[in-house]
Amino acid sequence: MNTYEIPRNYKGEGRILYIFSTKALIYTFIGLAVGLIFYFIFKIIGMQMVGIICDIAIGAVGFAIGTLKMPDTKKFEFTKKTGGENIDDIIKRWIKFKRNNNKIYIRKDILNKK
């Protein structure tokens, strides 16, 4: 008798608490760490609740950056080029572009292959 492997859906097995992938968890903690700075500033002023709200909001932004993808919409020029890519990858490329003083380098050998 032969045995056969049944394909298994591995999607989501690397997730913690079902919604947090490892990358999303790291970005959420980075967002919460940045939010803690605002929390302590507002706590010194005496507005502790505003600090807590800022901390949670910035943590949610970190989660969104680590989890969501750019929508694939043909309506805007920006989403035509980046549709379907992770938001954190887009931000990393933008930072590299700004570091190079807004220059894009193109190799001539690639252009000549066409």
* pLDDT value, residue 70: 75
Please tell me whether residues 114 and 74 are part of one structural domain.
yes
Rounded CA-CA distance 70/23 in Å is 16
Please tell me whether residues 62 and 100 are part of one structural domain.
no
Please tell me whether residues 107 and 89 are part of one structural domain.
yes
Please tell me whether residues 53 and 79 are part of one structural domain.
no
> Which range of residues forms the domain containing residue 37?
14-68
Please tell me whether residues 100 and 82 are part of one structural domain.
yes
Please tell me whether residues 59 and 85 are part of one structural domain.
no
Please tell me whether residues 20 and 60 are part of one structural domain.
yes
pLDDT digits (tens, 9 = 90+) for 65-95: 888 777 777 777 766 666 777 778 878 888 8
Find where tokens 């803690």 sit.
36
Answer whether residue 6 is part of any domain.
no
* pLDDT value, residue 28: 85
Please tell me whether residues 64 and 78 are part of one structural domain.
no
Please tell me whether residues 53 and 82 are part of one structural domain.
no
Name beta bridge partners: 20.
16
Q: What's the average model confidence in pLDDT over 42-70? A: 86
> CA-based Rg of the chain, rounded to a whole angstrom?
21
38 versus 87: which is more confidently predicted? 38
Please tell me whether residues 52 and 35 are part of one structural domain.
yes
Q: What's the average model confidence in pLDDT over 18-47? A: 85
